[in-house]
C-alpha cells in the first residue's frame, strides 16, 4: 500500500510537470512573433554575468548582454527558481510587452532603425506563481 501511494504520488507529479511543460511549449508555438533561444541571444548580444541590480538600472540595450547568463548561467538559473513576485521585486516594474499582457516583460533592446520592434524578456509562471520559463520575444519577425 505504501509503495502504491508513492507510485501514485510520483505519477501525478510527473503528469503535472508534463502538462506544465506542454503548456509552455504550446504557448511558444501559438503566439505570433519571434522567439530567440539563449544561444541565438548569445550570438547577437554576447554575454555578461547576470546581475539583477545591473539589469534593473540599465537601459534596454545594456540589458541584452545579460540575457544568456540569465537563461543559461548559474546566476540566472538560481534567479529563475523564484516567484513572479521575486522577479518584479528584483528587476523592477516591467517595461516591456508580451503577447499575453499578464506576463511581466522587460525591454532588452531598443527598437531598430528599420522600425522593427524591441526585443523583450518575458517570464511565465505556474499556478503557484513560480517562474517556469523565461523567453526572448518580439512582436514581429524581420
Distance CA 112, CA 125 (A): 29
Gap between the Cα atoms of 50 and 137, Å rounded: 19
Q: Are the C-beta atoms of 110 and 119 separated by less than 8 Å?
A: no
Does residue 117 contact residue 136 with C-beta atoms inside 8 Å? no
pTM of the model: 0.71
Q: Please answer whether residues 103 and 120 qualify as being in contact, where contact means their C-beta atoms are separated by less than 8 angstroms.
A: no
Annotate 6-17 with b (16+ C-beta within 10 A) or e (fewer). eeeeeeeeeeee
Per residue of the chain (142 residues), what is the pLDDT tens digit? Answer: 556 655 555 555 544 445 444 444 445 555 667 899 999 999 988 999 999 999 999 998 899 999 999 999 888 877 788 898 999 999 999 988 787 667 889 998 766 655 566 889 998 888 898 998 899 988 777 6
pLDDT at 61: 85
Q: Quote helix, strand, coil % in the chain, to nearest 5.
A: 50, 20, 35
The three-point CA angle 40-117-121 to 5° equals 50
The Cα–Cα gap between 141 and 84 comes to 27
Amino acid at each position: 500500500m505504501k509503495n502504491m501511494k508513492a507510485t501514485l504520488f510520483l505519477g501525478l507529479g510527473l503528469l503535472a510537470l508534463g502538462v506544465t511543460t506542454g503548456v509552455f511549449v504550446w504557448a511558444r508555438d501559438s503566439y505570433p512573433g519571434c522567439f530567440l533561444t539563449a544561444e541565438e541571444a548569445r550570438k547577437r548580444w554576447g554575454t555578461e554575468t547576470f546581475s539583477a541590480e545591473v539589469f534593473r538600472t540599465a537601459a534596454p540595450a545594456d540589458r541584452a548582454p545579460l540575457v544568456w547568463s540569465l537563461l543559461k548561467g548559474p546566476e540566472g538559473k538560481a534567479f529563475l527558481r523564484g516567484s513572479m513576485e521575486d522577479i518584479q521585486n528584483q528587476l523592477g516594474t516591467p517595461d516591456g510587452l508580451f503577447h499575453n499582457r499578464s506576463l511581466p516583460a522587460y525591454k532588452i533592446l531598443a527598437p531598430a532603425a528599420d522600425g522593427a520592434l524591441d526585443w523583450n524578456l518575458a517570464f511565465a509562471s505556474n499556478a503557484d506563481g513560480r517562474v517556469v520559463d523565461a523567453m526572448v520575444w518580439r512582436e514581429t519577425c524581420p
